[in-house]
Chain A
Amino acid sequence: MATSSTWERIAARGGISPGRARTYGFIFLGAGLLIYLLFARVAAAGQASTFVMNFGTAGQQVPIPDLVLPTGPTLYALALICAFLGGWQLARGFRQVNLVLGIIAGLFVWAFLTWASQGRAFNLTGMLNSALLRAVPIALAGLSGVICERCAVINIGIEGMMLTGAFTATLMGSLALNIWGWPSWASMSFGLVSALISGALMGLLLAVLAIRFKVNQIIAGTAINILAVGITSFLSARILAHFQQLNSTGTLQPVPIPLLSRIPIIGPVIFEQNLLVYLLYILLVVTHVVLFHTRWGLRTRAVGEHPRAADTLGVNVFKVRYVNVTIGGMVAALGGAFLILGSVGRFDELMTAGKGFIGLAAMIFGKWMPFGAFGAALIFGFADALQTKLAILQVPIPSQFLLMAPYLVTIIVLAGVVGEAVPPAADGKPYEKQ
């Protein structure tokens, strides 16, 4: 039939309509043009960009020679590659166009770094390390979102749960360390466990509001955020500000994993971190396995997609939701505790600074999969780390714009790249027994 050809054309282009495929082509071309206009044209001749591949401090691993690239030629080459990919997309079309889009984004970032570090040395490994550390709380927030939304409860309150966790970890950890005189490891564990309990309580509050009282989940989550901001700011101003010894927990030291931490470049980045980072790795694996290979996970997914079907088979929909949302609260609070124990060691008002919401974006970008959310969190962490490194390199871009980077990436990713992400079918809908 002649008329079915529209669908065949779309199928040949990886399921993307002709108009959209053309738009992609122009985006690729535009990226090449931007590299030329913004970077290549203005790069001074004869300069070189140096990428340092070794961690500044550690001296144990096998040293890797620094990567030295001539700035101008590299930029021209990158611009040409982008233009070529764009031309190919317009003329022939790629099947995996989203993959190519990812490559283009990578090339653009590379070009940007090459330009920014011309005539200077840029520590790539240090940058990756910083990206991972900044990604950890976002990944935990995203994981919390995955755990809640897989059983169809939307958790907008992750931000507030993180804030509560951070505050509780600070207060209880400092109390044990500085007042009771516990050893450092014991007081940090105490702070961590307290944070988890606070998160569980916040999760339970959301669960009761959303499941028992069927409050609109967006409003319930927002209420939790406001509650958390109010309580932590009040207590912080009343207690922490007056008793500095209650606002100092100390931080966890990196623990290198033998052998693995000696892998060049990525070894120290991934395997020379503090225990909470390793806990994130474990949680990612455990969540994935539980979700897709155990009874609880099957029931969680069924409840998230079609709760009535699960109910007619004798699955207790309410129990699944209560347990998952409570655990989700604990994971969010762990993200907050990481900001304290794994990072700065002291609490500041509103210190989560939107990481809970970025975590929700990571969850969507990662298509409600644990490792997907982690991958998305790494991108956001990278944008965040880039921003601080560039400030140090004294790039001629106003610092306010650099600070926007992680949020801009969030918006661009959600609006453009993700396309249509399909949430669990019952997401956000309260379940009513007949």
Chain B
Amino acid sequence: MPPVLELRGITKAFPGVLANDHINLTLEEGEIHALLGENGAGKTTLMNILYGLYSPDEGEIFVRGRRVEIRGPGDAIALGIGMVHQHFMLVPVLTVTENVMLGVESIKNGIFLDRSSAARRIREISRQYGLHVDPDALVKTLPVGVQQRVEIIKLLYRQADILIMDEPTAVLTPQEVDELFKVIRSLAAQGKSVIFITHKLKEVMAIADRITVLRNGRVVGTTTPSQTTEEQLASMMVGREVLLRVNKRPAMPGETVLEVENLEVQDDRGNPAVRGVSFEVRAGEVLGIAGVQGNGQTELVQALTGLRPLLAGRVRILGEEVSGAPPRRILEKGIAHVPEDRQQDGLVLSFPVADNLVLNTYYLPPFARAGTLQQEVIFTTAEQRTREFDVRTPSILTPVANLSGGNQQKVIVAREFSRPIRLLIASQPTRGLDVGSIEYIHQRIIAKRDEGCGILLVSPELDEVMSLSDRIAVMYEGRIMDILPADQATREEIGLLMAGVKR
């Protein structure tokens, strides 16, 4: 019997990048096939080709032994290929039923939408695969874990039997991940074939039947969880030996640098985002804030750095009240901020590297004198900092937009770390970076801690929080569920807190 799906020699080039280079891949019926690779390895490009969103430059696709052309999502759906996208493709203001039926609407009396028969089928699918969801609920009211179920139901409703899941665990709590894995196994047991895209080694080992590793657009190898280890997979992904753990000494906490008391903050729509949060960060320790994305971490960090007004509560830095102070005053108190969205909030993309390196000090001597910028000083400083922080750039005059994500992040770190600082607020400091850059940034953060700087680390990556932090605070729906010493906390305990369960 031919494989359900076979890709032969798929090649796709974008300007300046060979995203996919002669990729071969087979998928058997009922198989869970993990596609492992770092950001930029070409996983998503390959799947978008399979789903008809891109067209390949070269190569052939076979579905159940038959050669096919996929010109758009419509063709892919007709072939039984369905995709759960990394960013959900759901319309928030529509109901579950409306989202599921969109594009394949059931009709009654000639023209009217038949919502009730669609809802009936959704309930059947829910029962069959254990995907519980209320068909009449508005999607925007559902938690992300449930929204993901809606995405899966969308595929099953279209009778897809090849399911592509692009980084499906990125937005889930550990418990929701377990739940998802159960669903995926039940799908495979009922004859569906699953391609599972991820860069997380633990998940691959837990769920996959077979693993294909991509690096720089090429297939590095195919293996199975029983034949390999996490370390082997990591070095296949990166192309060299990688340290998966951070080495650090025990913390030596000193005076309190940041004190937050009953902080309340609204999100952009005026809804409560942070609901009465209190904690403190001391010099020489890392306080990690764990939690699924969207539980108020973004608003908390923005409030602490003066980018968002406080609704209630107080913030004190080194004993001085800074509630509602403008960002510059907060920066000048010795606060460094590595923002969550580096391209939006951390850099001016069209400015050269040199200017980005002085964005928070350009108005001070020696960079400015009598209201004019001292270009000479700025350039020599930039030369020195790019060397010191190993920023790979063709020149300090290159627009920062042209740098890779890892190097952009190094520009921010170089800028924030080369001032005398007392507190570092780092929000998702390694988001979207390759394993090598992650290693580097983690070492820098720990070095800052050992110099006596207080660190507030916010990250939805539980592994990152657990390996860097000395204490771990877990945020859920705008509240801090608990603060635990890192050496006593277990994954399970933190996972439950992330889901709002307190034992």
Contact = CB atoms under 8 A, between A and B. Distances in A.
A and B are interacting partners: yes
Interface stretch (B100-108, B204-212, B447-455): B100-108
B83 A7 contact: no
A293 B113 CA distance: 5
Contacts, number: 87
Given A295-B113, A298-B98, A434-B53, A310 B103 contact: yes
A146 to B, nearest CB: 15
Q: Residue among A6, A294, A310, A314 with the most chain B CB within 10 A?
A: A314
B51 A298 contact: no
Interface in A1-23: 1-4, 6-7
B299 interface: no
Among A295, A310, A315, A434, max chain B CB count under 10 A is at: A295
Contact of A305 (B94, B107, B111): B94
A429 to B, nearest CB: 15
Interface in B72-110: 72-74, 77, 83, 85, 89-94, 98-99, 101-105, 107
A348 interface: no
A interface residue count range (under 10 / 10 to 19 / 20 to 34 / 35 or more)? 20 to 34
Nearest to B313: A3
Given A293-B113, A294-B113, A434-B53, A305 B92 contact: yes
Contacts of A434: 48, 53-54
A412 interface: no
* Secondary structure call for the A interface: helix
Nearest to A306: B91
Nearest to A307: B91
Interface in B14-56: 48, 51, 53-54
Nearest to B103: A313
A294 B112 contact: yes
Contact of A313 (B73, B92, B113, B275): B73
Nearest to A305: B91
B276 interface: yes
B272 A7 contact: yes
B264 interface: yes
A311 B262 CA distance: 44
Contacts of A294: 111-113
A314 B103 contact: yes
A299 interface: yes
A262 interface: no
A298 B113 contact: yes
Q: How large is the interface on B (under 10, 10 to 19, 20 to 34, 35 or more residues)?
A: 35 or more
A311 B48 CA distance: 13
Contact of A312 (B53, B101, B311): B53
B201 interface: no
Nearest to A309: B89
Among A1, A293, A306, A313, the most chain B Cβ lie within 10 Å of the Cβ of A313
A74 to B, nearest CB: 40
Candidate in B53, B98, B103 with the most chain A CB atoms within 10 angstroms = B103
Contacts of B270: 420
Which one of B77, B93, B112 has the greatest number of beta carbons of chain A within 10 Å? B93
B312 interface: yes
Contacts of B313: 3
Contacts of A312: 51, 53, 73, 83, 85, 89
Contacts of B54: 434
Contact of B102 (A1, A2, A6, A299): A299
Contacts of A321: none
B105 A295 contact: yes
B91 A311 contact: no
A298 B102 contact: yes
A308 interface: yes
A196 to B, nearest CB: 22
Contact of A314 (B73, B93, B107): B73
Contact of B90 (A293, A301, A306, A420): A306
A401 B133 CA distance: 58
Contacts of A6: 264, 311-312
Interface string B274-318: 011000000000000000000000000000000000011100000
Interface string A328-369: 000000000000000000000000000000000000000000
B312 A3 contact: yes
Contacts of A314: 72-74, 77, 103
Given A293-B112, A295-B107, A7 B275 contact: yes
A420 B92 CA distance: 18
A156 interface: no
B103 to A, nearest CB: 4
Contacts of A293: 112-113
Interface string B336-372: 0000000000000000000000000000000000000
Interface of B: 48, 51, 53-54, 72-74, 77, 83, 85, 89-94, 98-99, 101-105, 107, 111-113, 154, 262, 264, 270, 272, 275-276, 311-313, 479
Given A299-B102, A308-B89, A313-B103, 9 more contacts: A1-B479, A6-B311, A295-B107, A305-B94, A310-B103, A312-B85, A312-B89, A313-B102, A314-B103
15 contacts: A3-B313, A4-B275, A6-B311, A298-B102, A298-B105, A301-B93, A302-B91, A302-B98, A305-B91, A305-B94, A312-B51, A312-B85, A313-B104, A313-B154, A434-B53
Q: Which 3 A-B pairs have the closest CB atoms?
A: A3-B276, A313-B103, A314-B74
